[in-house]
Structure 1
């Protein structure tokens, strides 16, 4: 345990946030939260954000930023795997086109999968025992110039990506 006056490590802070989300009631409607947003059946939190890349998108700038997030993701993955076993990797590409009006018979992806598929290509997912919920982690980016983000989501079992 860190001494009283020192901040917790980023992994400890990230785990604290995800533990809170896993235990928290879901909001009845879309709403912003301290760490992100939520709605009926889901929470999404931004755990860490890089700089944006409006001025410089060179590999010397982007790669170290992404590597830091990947290190955070690896630390979170190790801890959560110790708790709940190996995650499954979910490919998010198939969910991307589910909101296409040209295919009215295809049901849109539920949140939080809908938000994640617009930011990332895959996510790691654990079922949280005895809760009827799952936790997903990914690194995403909304557009080339925007920051990369380490994201966590908690969703109801009914929205578990298959």
Structure 2
């Protein structure tokens, strides 16, 4: 992943007006699918996407301090049990296991980075989330 492009996207979306639902989700990077690929290729790709997330996270740490490391496992459990979880957190919990999360100083705005993987045969995605909806 191109860190400079990722940072430029963060800069752009962190100040952009949010739509009515209160959040934006951007794909910073999308990998290929795994149809017919072995488990080894899947694991290598997962490691690369996590390394790319961590690299961008390091740069953002220089701006805003260390991120909150947030597991979305309990959010998924609560959502499937019928609790009304606000977006984008409810949707993210179904395919992003954890997030690096910052609240922008002096604002209600949250910035999150996470690696999405919907299914073993579908591509990985490095997602950037910008929202004013507090995490659950």
Deviation at 1:150, TM superposition (A): 0.7
Q: Find the aligned partners of 1:117 and 1:147 in 2 and give their Cα distance.
A: 17
Q: Which has the higher helix share?
A: 2
Structure 1 segments (4+ residues) deviating >6 Å: none
Distance 1:57 1:112 in 2: 32
Partner of 2:124: 148
Matching of residues 115-126 of structure 1 within 5 Å: 115-126=91-102
2:42 maps to 1:62: yes
What are the ranges of 5 or more consecutive residues in structure 1 without an aligned counterpart?
Answer: 1-8, 29-39
Q: Is 1:49 paired with 2:25?
A: no
Match of 1:82 in 2: 62
Tell me the CA shift for residue 71 of structure 1.
2.2
Contact kept? 1:141, 1:149, Cα under 8 Å: yes
Structure 1 counterpart of 2:90? 114
With normalisation by structure 2, the TM-score equals 0.90
TM-score (norm 1): 0.77
Is contact 2:100–2:114 with CA below 8 Å preserved after alignment?
yes
Larger RCO of the pair (alpha carbons < 8 Å, separation 6+): 2
Instruction: Provide the C-alpha distance between the structure 2 equivalents of 1:131 and 1:119, rounded to a whole number of angstroms.
Output: 27
* Bigger Cα Rg: 1
Distance (whole Å) between structure 2 residues aligned to residue 57 and residue 45 of structure 1: 28
Gaps of 5+ in 2: none
1:91 aligns with 2:71: yes
